[in-house]
């Protein structure tokens, strides 16, 4: 199903809602548009869950020894959360190669070429988000027409493997909205950024009930990270200016949507139970809170775009 003119599928920006009809929504693992991406024996199984005017979310899996082809590029920043396994990502334009492990995040800025390899022994499971969109107006068929920088192929001197990154810090502090790098400068650098849990912007959040919020990426397009909810936790109310998608990495969460006529004494609250592996969408400007009925801590991955 592609639009003849642009090759961008008609669901882009409106999955599963039109932009003016967004509402809270729970996605089960199977509630996605599946697709085989790539060619020959390098195909990977992808599933797309959400595509609004601000944020899109998918997942993909790559078996050990496999990689996706052709090289990929997007009309927005892409964030990978590695749910399982390990990953190696090549930028074919610069030859720079980045590795990450389960529990870590990778930020591929808008317009940066990339290709994912699984050199590990386990299947790699990737949860991805794109903001503001997956494809530029040029469509889905943009191809990488140069010779990729692969060492030991002709004309590439392996002694010149780049050690320096392309990103030049413009002096802005590594604070919220500018982490781990400044968005516009990162997009010009053809660089890719990996953040480990120990490197995240970690903060203890909440008035009476505290949770751990860890930002792994925070820029002008998207904020991504994890929320660790203690057992028996009930969060403060929150409302974001941007669209939010959560993915339950561990445990489960009860998301409560607090509409204007919300009555805490009533049993008819809009409450959604979201279990490990499932996703939940919270549209911009929707007041909500999180409750954990678990006996262990729960961990949620969040993506919010563009503003917190």
CB of 161 to Fe ion, least distance (A): 23
In contact, 104 and 214? CB cutoff 8 Å: no
Range in contact with Fe ion (rule: CB under 5 A) among 28-36, 72-80, 155-163, 199-207: 72-80
Q: How far apart are alpha carbons 200 and 302 in whole angstroms?
A: 14
Cβ proximity to Fe ion, 53 vs 78, nearer residue:
78
Q: How far apart are alpha carbons 59 and 45 in whole angstroms?
A: 8
Q: How far apart are alpha carbons 123 and 53 in whole angstroms?
A: 32
Cβ proximity to Fe ion, 116 vs 216, nearer residue:
116
Cβ proximity to Fe ion, 72 vs 191, nearer residue:
72
CB of 77 to Fe ion, least distance (A): 11
Cβ proximity to Fe ion, 76 vs 225, nearer residue:
76
CB of 114 to Fe ion, least distance (A): 6
CB of 232 to Fe ion, least distance (A): 38
* Adjacency order of strands within the sheet including 211-218: 25-27, 279-282, 243-250, 298-305, 223-229, 211-218, 201-205
**Total residues at interface with Fe ion (CB under 5 A):** 2
Residue nearest to Fe ion (CB): 72
CB of 74 to Fe ion, least distance (A): 6
Range in contact with Fe ion (rule: CB under 5 A) among 54-62, 64-72, 197-205, 290-298: 64-72
Cβ proximity to Fe ion, 13 vs 251, nearer residue:
13
Cβ proximity to Fe ion, 38 vs 225, nearer residue:
38
Across the strands, what pairs with 47?
A: 34, 59
Q: How far apart are alpha carbons 75 and 138 in whole angstroms?
A: 9
Contacts for 119 with CB less than 8 Å, ≥ 6 apart: 64, 65, 86, 88
β-pairing, 288-291 vs 252-257, is: antiparallel
For residue 177, the 8-state DSSP code is: T
- Tokens 């050990």 identify what position? 64
Among 13, 53, 66, 72, binds Fe ion (CB under 5 A): 72
Contacts for 121 with CB less than 8 Å, ≥ 6 apart: 64
Range in contact with Fe ion (rule: CB under 5 A) among 70-78, 96-104, 158-166, 221-229: 70-78
Contacts for 57 with CB less than 8 Å, ≥ 6 apart: 48, 49, 50, 51, 127, 128, 129, 130, 245, 247, 279, 303
CB of 127 to Fe ion, least distance (A): 13
| Tokens found for residue 296 | 């262990």
Across the strands, what pairs with 105?
A: 81, 195
What part of residues 74-103 is at the interface with Fe ion (CB under 5 A)? 78
Rule CB under 5 A: is residue 244 a binding residue for Fe ion?
no
Range in contact with Fe ion (rule: CB under 5 A) among 45-53, 65-73, 98-106, 136-144: 65-73
CB of 292 to Fe ion, least distance (A): 32
CB of 68 to Fe ion, least distance (A): 8
Q: What are phi and psi of 215, to 5 degrees?
A: -90, 125
Q: Which residues bind Fe ion (CB under 5 A)?
A: 72, 78
């Amino acid at each position: 199903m592609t639009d003849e003119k642009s090759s961008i599928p008609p669901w882009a920006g409106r999955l599963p809602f039109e932009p003016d009809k967004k509402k809270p929504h729970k996605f089960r693992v199977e509630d996605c548009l599946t697709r085989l991406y790539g060619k020959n024996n390098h195909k990977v199984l992808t599933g797309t869950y959400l595509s609004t005017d601000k944020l899109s979310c998918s997942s993909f899996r790559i078996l050990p020894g496999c990689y996706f082809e052709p090289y990929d590029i997007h009309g927005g920043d892409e964030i990978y959360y590695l749910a399982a396994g390990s990953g190696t990502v090549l930028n074919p334009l610069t030859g720079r190669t980045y590795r990450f492990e389960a529990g870590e995040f990778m930020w591929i800025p808008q317009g940066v070429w990339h290709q994912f390899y699984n050199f590990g022994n386990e299947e790699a499971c990737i949860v991805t988000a794109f903001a503001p969109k997956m494809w530029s107006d040029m469509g889905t068929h943009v191809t990488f027409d140069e010779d990729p920088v692969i060492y030991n192929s002709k004309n590439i001197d392996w002694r010149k493997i780049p050690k320096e990154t392309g990103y030049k810090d413009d002096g802005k502090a590594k604070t919220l909205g500018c982490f781990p790098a400044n968005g516009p400068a990162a997009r010009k650098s053809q660089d890719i950024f990996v953040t480990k849990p120990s490197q995240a912007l970690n903060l203890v959040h909440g008035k009476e009930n505290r949770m751990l919020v860890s930002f792994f990426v925070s820029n002008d397009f998207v904020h991504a990270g994890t929320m660790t909810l203690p057992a028996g936790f009930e969060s403060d109310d929150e409302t974001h200016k941007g669209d939010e998608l959560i993915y339950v990495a561990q445990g489960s969460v009860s998301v409560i949507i607090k509409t204007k006529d919300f009555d805490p004494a009533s049993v008819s609250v809009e409450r959604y139970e979201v279990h490990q592996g499932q996703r939940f969408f919270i549209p911009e400007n929707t007041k909500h809170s999180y409750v954990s009925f678990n006996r262990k801590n729960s961990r949620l991955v969040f993506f919010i775009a563009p503003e917190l």
